[in-house]
């Protein structure tokens, strides 16, 4: 392919990979060991001059583009004014702007408050802290195939042992895992799956919150059966349990709505966000009902870097970009382009094609199949990721601004690899 100048990874990347071995902890994995020099719309250009088609957005982060012109300008402008004060020491307006935007964009017209953090795991962890404090209950309910992060609490909430939890215990107690909704494998309607889930909770009166990804990410891009989330939300309401939506991967137009919960008109009590929020700068947030959020005592929430001013400036610019370019419509167009093409694939290895908007997946029969398809794509210069509790799912998270011809070219490669 004309986009490639060398094999992938090329000689310069291989040199850097060798240097890395002597400096970077071995526990940090790599999907595609091509070192990046710079990015262009829909492309990552590596140090050997290879132009890789980006169907991963750095795991659903750079939906607005990479670099996104408005984000880059906002970051430059902010970093020249000041880089940090710590919002808890001396505040600044950018933090307020992000919280105001979050209140407006997250589901539900109720009064809301937000706290800003640095990552998705930190957002989920703070959502649980707030839910426990507000309810006075200790329990946390999570689902099979869940992924919520790598801190101690969020490891306990994450389902998959290898690589995320293996050897890292003991984990925090109080986390109860229940079956979710995985229509391909359980054959249940949403209502049936929800009944099965809540039946596995033995003491609802001790549960602070149920934490769900509206479409499961790392666990396999599992889209729950229609009605599952609304039924879970109803159960939560009737038992005084808070519903926390982990929208870290699904948020910010990824699925064709600002948040994936909106698809079924589910209004969570708390929403955890990160990834797509700030065009690549590290930022996470918890947004939720004012009465719940404000239950926590002054000083109970925060952190040195949470809501860093540069990250806030990037988030405001990223949200403006999502809005002005109507990237919800772009995500829907991506889904409408990709799903029929993948569904037309006639291959015994394909078990299911699923997803919504620009969060799309092909479940293959085995992890070996997925690894081989991914390796073929990578060698051809197309960045795809795998996921799934069994590692047998190819996931696509293209930048929402990807040029149509690049998306088509990337799909050609993926289709060829699957065939
Ligand atoms: C990535 C992810 C997290 C963790 O976010 P980090 O920023 O990596 O800590 C949590 N929940 C979901 C659904 C995610 O996809």
For residue 339, give the CATH number of its domain.
Answer: 3.90.1150.10
Closest C-alpha residue for ligand 1 atom 10: 148
Among 117, 121, 260, name the best residue to mutate to test ligand 1's pocket (greatest count of ligand atoms within 8 A of Cβ): 121
317: containing domain: 70-324
Task: Say whether both 239 and 365 belong to one domain.
Answer: no
Which residue spans within 284-335 are E strands per DSSP? 284-289
Q: Tell which of 324, 357, 386 closes a domain.
A: 324
- In short, whether 217's Cβ falls inside 6 Å of ligand 1 is yes
Q: Does the C-beta of 211 come closer than 6 Å to ligand 1?
A: no
Residues 330 and 319 grouped into a single domain: no
Six-digit token string for 101: 């935007």
- Find out whether the beta carbon of 124 lies less than 6 Å from any atom of ligand 1: yes
pLDDT at 213: 98
Alpha helices (runs of H) in 212-308, residue ranges in sequence order: 228-238, 290-293
Helix (H, G, I), strand (E, B) or coil at 251: coil
Same domain, residue pair 292 and 333: no
- Of 270, 296, 324, which residue sits at a domain end? 324
Q: Is residue 4 part of a domain?
A: no
How many A from CA of 367 to the centre of ligand 1? 22
Pocket-testing residue among 163, 274, 284, 306, ligand 1, by greatest number of atoms within 8 A of Cβ: 274
Question: Are 158 and 41 members of one domain?
Answer: no
Pocket test for ligand 1, best of 218, 221, 222, 388 (most atoms within 8 A of CB): 218
Q: How many CB atoms lie within 10 A of CB 408?
A: 14
CA dist., res. 334 & res. 398, Å (int): 8
- 282 domain-assigned: yes
Which residue, by CA, sits nearest to atom 11 of ligand 1? Answer: 148
Q: Which of 80, 68, 129 is nearest to 315 (CA)?
A: 68
With respect to residue 348, please indicate whether it lies within any of the assigned structural domains.
yes
Q: Which atom of ligand 1 is nearest to the CA of 249?
A: 15
Instruction: Identify the helix (H) or strand (E) that includes residue 45.
Output: strand 43-46
Q: Answer whether residue 188 is part of any domain.
A: yes
Closest residue by CA, ligand 1 atom 5: 120
Residues 142 and 187 in one domain: yes
Same domain, 236 and 286: yes
Helix axes 228-238, 190-199, angle to 10 degrees: 40
Q: Which residue, 63, 76, 65, 3, is CA-closest to 34?
A: 3
Q: Rounded to whole angstroms, how far apart are CA atoms 393 and 414?
A: 13
Q: Is the CB of 279 under 6 A from ligand 1?
A: no
Helix (H) or strand (E) holding 309: helix 309-324
Q: pLDDT value at position 348?
A: 86
Residue 113 and residue 74 share a domain: yes
Low-confidence ranges of the chain (pLDDT < 70): 1-2
Give strand pairing partners of 284.
Answer: 117
265 cis-preceded (ω within 30 degrees of 0):
no
Ligand 1, residue 274: give the atom nearest the CA.
7
Q: Which residues contact 330 (CB under 8 A, 6 or more apart)?
A: 253, 358, 400, 401
User: What's the total number of domains in the chain?
Assistant: 2
CB distance 68 to ligand 1 below 6 Å? no
Q: What is the pLDDT of residues 106-161, one digit of tens each?
A: 999 999 999 999 999 999 999 999 999 999 999 999 999 999 999 999 999 999 99
Out of 280, 301, 324, pick the residue that ends a domain: 324
CA 285/CA 277 separation, integer angstroms: 9
User: Domain with 247 in it: what CATH number?
Assistant: 3.40.640.10
Domain contains 5: no
- 173 burial (CB, 10 Å; 0-12 / 13-18 / 19+) is exposed
- Rounded to two decimals, the pTM is 0.98
338-394, pLDDT tens digit by residue?
A: 999 999 987 888 999 999 999 999 999 999 999 999 999 999 999 999 999 999 999
Give kind and range of the element (H or E) at residue 334. helix 327-343
Residue 64 resides in a domain: no
Kindly state whether residues 306 and 162 are assigned to the same domain.
yes
User: Separation of 379 CA from ligand 1 center, angstroms?
Assistant: 27
Rounded distance between C-alpha atoms, residue 360 and residue 189, angstroms: 21
> In sequence order, what are the beta bridge partners of 142?
177
Residues 111 and 256 grouped into a single domain: yes
| 141 and 275 in a common domain | yes
């Amino acid at each position: 392919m004309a986009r490639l100048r060398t094999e992938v990874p090329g000689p310069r990347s291989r040199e850097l990979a060798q240097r890395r071995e002597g400096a970077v902890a071995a526990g940090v994995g790599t999907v595609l060991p091509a070192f990046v020099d710079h990015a262009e719309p829909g492309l990552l250009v590596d140090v050997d001059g290879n132009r890789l088609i980006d169907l991963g957005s750095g795991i659903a982060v750079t939906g607005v583009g990479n670099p996104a012109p408005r984000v880059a300008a906002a970051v430059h402008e902010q970093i020249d004014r000041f880089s940090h004060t710590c919002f808890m020491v001396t505040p600044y307006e950018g933090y307020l702007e992000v919280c105001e935007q979050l209140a407006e964009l997250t589901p539900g017209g109720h009064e809301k408050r937000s706290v800003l953090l640095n990552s998705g795991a930190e957002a989920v962890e703070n959502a649980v802290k707030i839910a426990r404090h507000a309810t006075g209950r200790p329990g946390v309910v999570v689902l099979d195939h869940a992924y919520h992060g790598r801190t101690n609490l969020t490891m306990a909430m994450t389902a998959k042992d290898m690589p995320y939890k293996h050897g890292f215990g003991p984990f925090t107690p109080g986390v109860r895992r229940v079956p979710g909704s995985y229509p391909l494998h359980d054959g249940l309607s949403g209502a049936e799956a929800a009944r099965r889930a809540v039946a596995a909770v033995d003491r609802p009166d001790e549960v602070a919150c149920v934490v769900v990804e509206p479409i499961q990410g790392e666990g396999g891009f599992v889209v729950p059966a229609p009605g599952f989330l609304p039924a879970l939300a109803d159960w939560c309401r009737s038992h005084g349990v808070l519903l926390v939506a982990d929208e870290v991967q699904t948020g910010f137009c990824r699925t064709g709505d600002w948040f994936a919960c909106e698809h079924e008109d589910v209004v969570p009590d708390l929403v955890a966000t990160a990834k797509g929020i700030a065009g690549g700068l590290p930022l996470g947030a918890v947004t939720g009902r004012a009465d719940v959020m404000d239950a926590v005592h002054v000083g109970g929430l925060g952190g040195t870097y949470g809501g860093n001013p540069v990250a806030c400036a990037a988030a405001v610019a990223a949200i403006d970009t999502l809005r002005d370019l109507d990237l919800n419509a772009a995500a829907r167009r991506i889904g409408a382009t990709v799903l029929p093409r993948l569904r037309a694939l006639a291959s015994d290895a394909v078990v299911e094609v699923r997803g919504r908007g620009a969060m799309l997946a092909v479940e293959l029969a085995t992890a070996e199949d997925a690894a081989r398809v991914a390796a073929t794509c990578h060698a051809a210069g197309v960045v795809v990721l795998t996921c799934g509790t069994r590692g047998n799912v190819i996931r696509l998270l293209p930048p929402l601004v990807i040029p149509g011809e690049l998306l088509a070219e990337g799909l050609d490669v993926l289709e060829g690899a699957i065939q």
